[in-house]
Amino acid sequence: MSTLQQPPAQQPWLPHHDALGAPLSDATHVGLLLHGIFGAARNLRTFAQQLCAATPGWAWIVADLRNHGDSAGAPPPHDLDTCANDVRNLWQALDVAPTAVVGHSFGGKVAMHLLAEPWPELRRVGVLDTHPHLRWNDEGGADGVEHVLRVLGQVPQPLAQRADVVGHLTAAGIDQPVAQWMTTNLRAADDGYRWKFDLPAVIAMLDSYFTTDSWPRLRAVPPGVVVHVVRAGRSPRWTPPTVAALESLAPAVQVHTLANAGHWVHVDDPAGLCEILAAALGGL
């Protein structure tokens, strides 16, 4: 009698990552750092090194979310559920269980998404300048998400040199610092420079971001977990009612303000952010 052989189980897609700090096998705790839309692990690397110095004994995994950095080829759907599964698959493949997850912007939304099904080791979640529920029309102006996406789709490719993208973006009204930052999202191809990301996939990720309300997760933080929301003092998205609503969720949710920081808190005030996170992680 012949026996039908089962096909081998398909391995899950895994995001690219770097590990810093203590070796994973010897670390007292493991933390996970997640960037925002159009960011990458490389954008967080300098801050991650500072965080490693402030948290001796910790190992920090800095991951490229799907469709960003070196995490290409991810299968759809491109939404928060799948992003959360991606990072779960990553640490399962690494055989670690993070004590802390810290995410900036879109990465903060992924971090809050992970609260729905926490694992026993999770103790701290850091949410860096991520509003629990922004909508598409909440971010207008020349640097608003919809305008930036439209301009990115109009940039001719390939480009002869990386710096050429700056002129295209500033001509469309995008601020110089944002245009300069977008050059990190270009890769060298045989015929010039092209975007690293899959723009339609990124738009799908953003749609999931703007249509997902994370307030219910903050109102039901699992026992033993504390969420630290770090807001940028120069960001207009943090209205007094929003801050008051967050502060009403104490002690499970703690609110911190970096008064002189804009949205990129890890760039504008890395020392202040390290101090907040190190204090939040102390004693674990």
User: Which tens digit of pLDDT belongs to each residue from 243-281?
Assistant: 999 999 999 999 999 999 988 899 889 999 999 999 999
Residue 10 lies in a domain: no
Within this chain, do residues 274 and 244 fall inside the same structural domain, yes or no?
yes
Q: How many domains in the chain? A: 2
Q: Is residue 106 situated within a structural domain? A: yes
The CA distance from 221 to 217, in Å, is 6
Work out the pLDDT band at 2, boundaries 50, 70, 90.
Answer: very low
Phi, psi at 32, each rounded to 5°: -125, 130
Which domain range does residue 151 map to? 145-201
**Residues 271/49, Cβ–Cβ less than 8 Å:** no
The token duo for 122 is: 């999770």
Residues 23 and 118 in one domain: yes
Same domain? 121 vs 248: yes
**Size (the chain), residues:** 284
pTM score above 0.85: yes
- Can you say whether the dihedral through the CA atoms of 156, 160, 161, 167 is positive or negative? negative
Please report which residue ranges of the chain form alpha helices under DSSP H: 41-54, 80-94, 106-113, 145-154, 164-171, 176-182, 199-211, 215-218, 240-247, 265-268, 270-281
The pLDDT value recorded for residue 144 is 62
Query: Are residues 76 and 171 located together in one domain of the fold?
Result: no
| Domain shared by 179 and 93, yes or no | no
Same-domain check for residues 52 and 106: yes
Q: For residue 53, how many other CB atoms are within 10 A of its CB?
A: 11
Q: Strand, helix or coil at 227?
A: strand
Whether residue 29 is found in the same domain as residue 152:
no
Tokens of 141: 């102006």
- Tell me which DSSP letter residue 114 carries: G
- In this structure, is residue 156 part of a structural domain? yes
Counting residues of the chain whose pLDDT is more than 70, the rounded percentage is 94
Q: Is the peptide bond before 241 cis (omega within 30 degrees of 0)?
A: no
Q: Is position 1 within any domain?
A: no
What does the pLDDT look like over 56-86, one tens digit per residue?
999 999 999 999 999 999 999 999 999 999 9
Which tokens in the block code for residue 261? 């920081």
**Which DSSP state fits 6?**
P
Q: For residue range 99-114, what is the model confidence (pLDDT) as tens digits?
A: 999 999 999 999 999 9
Kind of pairing between the strands at 226-232 and 17-21? unpaired
Instruction: Of 227, 217, 284, 215, give the one whose Cα is nearest residue 252.
Output: 227
Give the CATH number for residue 246.
3.40.50.1820
Q: Round to whole Å and give the CA distance between 149 and 112.
A: 25
Tell whether 22 and 52 lie within a shared domain: yes
Q: Are 197 and 237 found together in one domain?
A: no
Q: For residues 23, 47, 207 and 152, what is the CA-based torsion angle, rounded to 10 degrees?
A: -120
Whether 91 contacts 197, CB under 8 Å? no
Burial of 4 (0-12, 13-18, 19+ CB in 10 A): exposed
